[in-house]
Amino acid sequence: MQPESLRSNTEKATNNVKAGTELGLLFEDTGSIIRLHETYDKKLSARENILNALDGKALENSEVELHLALFYAYYLGLDTRIYERSDWDGERWSDQFNTDVFGETEQSNRFNKTKYTGIQRWLNYLGLGWYDSNGFFHPDPTERILRSMSSIFGEEKKITGDQFMSKLAEVCPELDGGEMFLQANKSYDANAKECTLGLSQALIGLHEDGFVRLTCPIDSRGWNLGKAKPGRDDSIKTDRLELIEIISK
For the stretch 199-247, pLDDT in tens is 999 999 999 999 999 999 999 999 999 999 999 999 999 999 999 999 9
The full 3-state SS of 154-179, as one line of letters, equals CCCCEEEHHHHHHHHHHHCCCCCCCH
pTM of the full structure: 0.89
* Other Cβ atoms closer than 10 A to 48: 12
> Distance (Å, rounded) from C-alpha 108 to C-alpha 102?
12
> Distance (Å, rounded) from C-alpha 46 to C-alpha 152?
24
> Tens digit of pLDDT for each residue in 101-119?
999 888 889 999 999 999 9
DSSP conformational letter for 226:
G
Cα 142 to Cα 9, 54, 216, distances in angstroms: 36, 16, 19
Q: What is the pLDDT of residue 56?
A: 87
pLDDT of 10 above 90: no
Average pLDDT, the chain: 90
> Distance (Å, rounded) from C-alpha 181 to C-alpha 71?
9
Q: What is the pLDDT of residue 6?
A: 57
Closest CA relative to residue 115, chosen from 48, 70, 54, 80: 70
Closest CA relative to residue 230, chosen from 212, 82, 247, 248: 212
- What does the buried/exposed string (b/e) look like for 125-157 if buried means 16 or more CB atoms within 10 Å of the residue's CB? ebbbbeeeeeeebbbbbbbbbbbbbeebbeeee
| Angle between helix 68-77 and 90-102 (nearest 10) | 90
